[in-house]
Amino acid sequence: MSLKGKVAIVTGAGSGIGRAIAIRLARDEAAIAVLDLNGDGAAETAKLITDAGGTALALTVDCSNEAAIKEAAATIRAKFGPITILVNNAGIATFVPYMDITEDQWDQMIRINLKGPHLCCREVIPDMLAAGWGRIINITSSSVQSGSFAQAHYVSSKGGLLGLTKALALEYAPTGITVNMVPPGFIDTPLLRSAPIDAEAFAKTLPMKRIGQPEDIAGACAYLASEEAGYVTGQTISTNGGRYMGSA
């Protein structure tokens, strides 16, 4: 699935799922803008791509800050050209009992996990409209399907991103822009390993009996970014080893 000539932004690509997505899209020949608040992580991801023969640019960006997004997009356009693929992966997750969530914690979660993707979409959609082609992929969460203990603020932010995905998919369907989502389920990341659960024991309860890998999410994103997915919009690829069979 060649993406040669396409320019992609992957947010939160300094590690974990975002890094795997950036590497996979680069393997499919897209030029990758690696955006992350962790500049060292972004630089490492970009080096992994360029060392493998790909094209990448690392930028230290707060992906929930409109001015920072605009500055980054201008740099990307100057180096690579118009942006026609966006993967909104940057996000945070914390565990706090509902009645203990502070207003600041709630606002921070919504700002990063929902407002950030909204700002990124608004920045790149004009490029996509001009090209008559675009792919927006939002990384949501399987917790939207199931709920998650002590994560009401997180689940709410990702549920909002699900709604944004559906709304944009409908609005831009006639334009050549597709908007889809991938909700990871039980993927081996630093966040999972820091969660208050026994990951290995829980994995045995899953239909596939294993923890997913970041590359599993990257594969789903590669398909949604491709020409082959041109008639797919407003959809969910639930990459979770069969944990949930619903379509939310």
Counting beta carbons within 10 angstroms of the beta carbon of residue 100, is it exposed (0 to 12), middle (13 to 18) or buried (19 or more)?
exposed
Quick check: 137 and 182 in contact, CB under 8 A? Answer: yes
pLDDT at 247 (0 to 100): 38
Q: Helix 16-27 to helix 214-225 angle, to the nearest 10 degrees? A: 40
Under DSSP, the state recorded for 163 is: H
Quick check: 169 and 178 in contact, CB under 8 A? Answer: yes
> Distance (Å, rounded) from C-alpha 231 to C-alpha 212?
27
Active site residue 231: no
pLDDT at 64 (0 to 100): 97
Nearest to 57 by CA among 42, 68, 67: 42
> Distance (Å, rounded) from C-alpha 167 to C-alpha 162?
9
In the three-class reduction of DSSP (H, G, I as helix; E, B as strand; rest coil), residue 59 is classed as strand
- Rg for the chain, CA atoms, rounded: 17
Segment 170-226, tens digit of pLDDT = 999 999 999 999 999 878 776 655 666 666 777 777 888 888 899 999 999 999 999
Asked if pLDDT for residue 248 goes beyond 60, the answer is no
Q: Retrieve residue 239's tokens.
A: 């990459």
Which of 15-24, 84-93, 138-147, 197-206 shows the lowest per-residue confidence on average (mean pLDDT)? 197-206
In the three-class reduction of DSSP (H, G, I as helix; E, B as strand; rest coil), residue 90 is classed as coil
Mean pLDDT of the chain: 93
Q: SS3 letters for 7-23?
A: EEEEECCCCHHHHHHHH
Q: In the chain, what is the straight-line distance between the N-terminal and C-terminal CA atoms, in Å?
A: 27
Please report, for residues 33, 100, 153, the alpha-carbon distance to residue 10 in angstroms, rounded to integers and kept in the order given: 6, 33, 24
Which of 117-131, 154-168, 201-215 shows the lowest per-residue confidence on average (mean pLDDT)? 201-215
Q: SS3 letters for 169-209?
A: HHHHHHHCEEEEEECCCCECCHHHHHCCCCHHHHHCCCCCC
Domains in the chain, please, with CATH? 7-229 (3.40.50.720)
What is the b/e burial string over 129-161, where b = at least 16 CB atoms within 10 angstroms of the residue's CB? Answer: eebebbbbbbbbbbbbbeebeebbbbbbbbbbb
Catalytic one among 154, 223, 231, 244? 154
Segment 67-90, tens digit of pLDDT = 999 999 999 999 999 999 999 999
Backbone angles phi, psi at 6, to 5 degrees: -95, 150
> Distance (Å, rounded) from C-alpha 102 to C-alpha 104?
5
